[in-house]
């Protein structure tokens, strides 16, 4: 850590440092871009992944926290804080040309906090309507429903955008358009059966070939982060189940771990094992659903029924132990809420026993199908550099050769004791993503087989105080969810409710590469690419 600190103070003498979970560097905005460039490009530092970008309102100032990861330096993390005191017209320098993932992340911050990013090419709102009044995550936001009634009229000015350009030390607003004057734009969604929810893509096409994809999100933006600020820590837990409902256990595991880490709580071994087993079961069910939905989107309806047949078996296991098929609400701070059902071991063994045979069946049904292969091979190729630059993790990142499995890179719970392979492929196309998911099911089964006979006896929950208060500070925790690395950021001021909670969802980044992946493909491939990336919309919108 000292090395980095010295290095940074050499590049940017105005930086101040603060020790914590990760080293926190505070830089003034005028030096930020220069430092960011050095952080990314310097051979010793090499922070090539922007893992999370958290907008913040510290009351006296507005700003951002950047969580950077270096894939070359042992996945070391660094936090950078940049703030501005101007509340009327806050501006920060954009880093979207260094880390492309910031293109959408900064738009999110602009939407929530009104911070304008200088040199960002497309400064539009991301989640809320164009005509929304105010920036909701600011602490002084006026929540009066009369300011923002339910509008049943369509949004105006959808094509207009703007950017703030710095010229000779002065900042100028430049109006622009999303699409060119004579581009032919076809609208997809928000109500479209193959967008897997309410997602909207506006595509500029030339004949049948896609030239540009403009993502319009926010059709299921529920303001979870703001809601969390008014709730106590145990009350915030249930939201995670409803964001990426296909990674409910992992998401909740992550939030629980983040809170437990802040409290310094030790989790009983039994609870750890149960949590990991549930995570892997969830991963199987999620990948089965992606298999079913992707094949159905490509027209293979039969495969959908096969995928769902096994998924029901997993859901039965959840149903017996957690009491619900979906939105299980199983993890709690300190452990899990209920002990395992007596049938659990038997059911998991039965699942592990049939899964290899079923996977063979899937391969027979779809993998070898020549129509399926023609529609997926070479479609939506994402290079490794782009995957890293856009922070694409999970199966989609690994299909591009980016070995980013959080279970291996930042092992949590008991993952470092387990024997499983990180599946990595290099093709980076839709077929690789599809195949990789099926292979990951095999790995998850392997993990379950290792644990199912070794569930230790003991407590399922640690003793936690009735009122949970976190010490002042900030924490960031990551887990490997079904679709990539899911992160939870908590900043506490010592009260019983969080000062700020941010969920860094993998799907948010996934949707960011739609434009990159779809370019120069046919419009029919948009569905394939979307299905293979497999984003869950409520996870994007939160």
Partner 1 sequence: MKREDFKDNEYIDQLVEELNATGANVVVGKLDELLNWSISNSLWPLCFGTSCCAIEFMCLGAARYDMARFGFEVARNSPRQADYIMVQGTIVHRMAPVMRRLYEQLAEPKYIIACGGCAVSGGPFKKSYCVVKGVDEILPVDVYVPGCPPRPEAMFYGLMQLQRKIKVQKFFGGVNRKEKIADFFANHPEMEGQM
Applying CB under 8 A, the residues found at the interface with partner 1 are 127-129, 132, 136, 141, 143, 148-155, 190-193, 197-198, 218-224, 226-227, 230, 238-239, 242, 245-246, 289, 292-293, 304-305, 308-309, 311-312, 315, 325-327, 537-538
Q: How far is the CB of 234 from partner 1 (least distance, A)?
A: 14
State which H helix or E strand residue 80 sits in. strand 76-84
Q: How far is the CB of 243 from partner 1 (least distance, A)?
A: 9
Q: How far is the CB of 136 from partner 1 (least distance, A)?
A: 5
Nearer to partner 1, 164 or 304 (CB): 304
The three-state (H, E, C) secondary structure of 235-299, written as one string:
HHHHHHHCCCHHHHHHHHHHHHHHHHHHHCCCCCHHHHHHHHHHHHHHHHHHHHHHHHHHHHHCC
Q: How far is the CB of 154 from partner 1 (least distance, A)?
A: 6
Nearer to partner 1, 432 or 536 (CB): 536
Nearer to partner 1, 391 or 507 (CB): 507
Paired sense of beta strands 76-84 and 23-27, if any: parallel
**Cα–Cα distance between 60 and 7 in angstroms, integer?**
30
Q: How far is the CB of 194 from partner 1 (least distance, A)?
A: 9
* Side-chain-facing half-sphere of 379: CA atoms under 13 Å: 26
Q: How far is the CB of 69 from partner 1 (least distance, A)?
A: 30
Do residues 453 and 273 lie in contact, with contact meaning Cβ atoms separated by under 8 Å?
A: no
Nearer to partner 1, 242 or 439 (CB): 242
Q: How far is the CB of 5 from partner 1 (least distance, A)?
A: 40
Nearer to partner 1, 32 or 245 (CB): 245
For the residues of 336-381, what is the DSSP string, one character each?
ESSPPPTTHHHHHHHHHHHHHHHHHHHIIIIIT-HHHHHHHTTSS-
From 288, 295, 243, select the one nearest 537 (Cα to Cα): 243
**Cα–Cα distance between 198 and 201 in angstroms, integer?**
10
Nearer to partner 1, 34 or 301 (CB): 301
**Cα–Cα distance between 31 and 22 in angstroms, integer?**
21
Q: How far is the CB of 340 from partner 1 (least distance, A)?
A: 21
Output the CA angle 427-430-431, nearest 5 degrees.
70
From 328, 278, 340, select the one nearest 481 (Cα to Cα): 278
Q: How far is the CB of 487 from partner 1 (least distance, A)?
A: 21
**Cα–Cα distance between 489 and 65 in angstroms, integer?**
10
Q: Which two tokens stand for residue 176?
A: 């622009």
From 458, 395, 466, select the one nearest 428 (Cα to Cα): 395
For the residues of 452-499, what is the DSSP string, one character each?
HT----S-SB----SS--PPSEEEEEEEEETTEEEEEEEEE-SSSS-S
Q: How far is the CB of 48 from partner 1 (least distance, A)?
A: 33
Count of Cβ atoms closer than 10 Å to residue 463 Cβ: 10
Nearer to partner 1, 154 or 453 (CB): 154
Nearer to partner 1, 106 or 244 (CB): 244
Q: How far is the CB of 241 from partner 1 (least distance, A)?
A: 8
Nearer to partner 1, 18 or 312 (CB): 312
Nearer to partner 1, 244 or 443 (CB): 244
Do residues 430 and 532 lie in contact, with contact meaning Cβ atoms separated by under 8 Å?
A: yes
Nearer to partner 1, 111 or 405 (CB): 111
């Amino acid at each position: 850590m000292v090395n980095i600190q010295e290095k940074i103070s050499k590049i940017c003498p105005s930086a101040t440092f603060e020790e914590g979970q990760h080293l926190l560097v505070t830089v003034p905005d005028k030096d930020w871009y220069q430092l960011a460039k050095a952080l990314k490009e310097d051979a010793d530092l090499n922070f090539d992944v922007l893992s999370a970008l958290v907008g913040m309102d510290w009351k006296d100032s507005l700003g951002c926290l950047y969580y950077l990861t270096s894939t070359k330096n042992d996945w070391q993390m660094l936090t950078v804080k940049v703030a501005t005191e101007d509340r009327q017209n806050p501006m920060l320098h954009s880093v979207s040309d260094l880390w492309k993932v910031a293109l959408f992340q900064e738009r999110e911050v602009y939407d929530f906090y009104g911070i304008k990013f200088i040199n960002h090419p497309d400064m539009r709102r991301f989640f809320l309507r164009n005509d929304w009044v105010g920036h909701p995550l600011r602490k002084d936001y006026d929540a009066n429903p009369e300011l923002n009634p339910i509008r049943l009229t369509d949004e105006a000015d959808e094509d207009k955008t703007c950017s703030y350009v710095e010229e000779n030390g002065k900042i100028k607003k430049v109006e622009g358009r999303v699409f060119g004057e004579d581009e032919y734009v076809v609208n997809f969604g928000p109500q479209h059966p193959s967008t897997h929810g309410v997602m909207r893509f506006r595509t500029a096409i030339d004949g049948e070939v896609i030239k540009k994809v403009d993502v319009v999100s926010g059709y299921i933006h529920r303001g979870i982060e703001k809601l969390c600020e008014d709730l106590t820590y145990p009350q915030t837990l249930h939201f995670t189940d409803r964001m990426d409902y296909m990674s409910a256990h992992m998401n909740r595991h992550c939030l629980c771990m983040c809170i437990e880490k802040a409290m310094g709580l030790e989790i009983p071994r039994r609870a750890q094992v149960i949590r990991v087993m549930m995570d892997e079961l969830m991963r199987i069910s999620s990948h089965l659903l992606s298999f079913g939905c992707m094949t159905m989107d490509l027209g293979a309806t039969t495969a959908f029924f096969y995928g769902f047949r096994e998924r029901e078996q997993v859901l039965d296991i959840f149903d017996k132990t957690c009491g619900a098929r979906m939105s299980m609400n199983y993890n709690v701070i300190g452990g899990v809420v209920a002990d395992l059902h007596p049938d659990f071991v038997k059911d998991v063994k039965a699942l592990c026993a049939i899964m290899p045979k079923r996977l063979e069946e899937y391969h027979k049904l779809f993998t070898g199908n020549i129509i399926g292969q023609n529609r997926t091979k070479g479609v939506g190729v994402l290079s490794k550099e782009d995957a890293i630059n856009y922070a694409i993790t999970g199966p989609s990142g690994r299909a591009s050769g980016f070995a980013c499995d959080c279970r291996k890179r930042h092992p949590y719970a008991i993952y470092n004791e387990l024997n499983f392979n990180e599946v990595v492929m290099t093709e980076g196309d839709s077929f690789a993503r599809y195949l990789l998911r099926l292979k990951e099911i095999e790995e998850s089964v392997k993990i379950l087989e290792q644990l199912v006979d070794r569930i230790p006896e003991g407590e399922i929950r640690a003793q936690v105080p009735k009122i949970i208060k976190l010490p002042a500070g900030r924490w960031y925790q990551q887990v490997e969810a079904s679709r990539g690395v899911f992160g939870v950021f908590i900043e506490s001021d010592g009260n019983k409710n969080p000062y700020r909670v941010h969920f860094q969802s993998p799907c948010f980044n996934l949707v960011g590469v739609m434009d990159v992946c779809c370019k120069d493909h046919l419009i029919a491939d948009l569905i394939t690419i979307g299905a293979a990336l497999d984003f869950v919309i409520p996870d994007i919108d939160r």
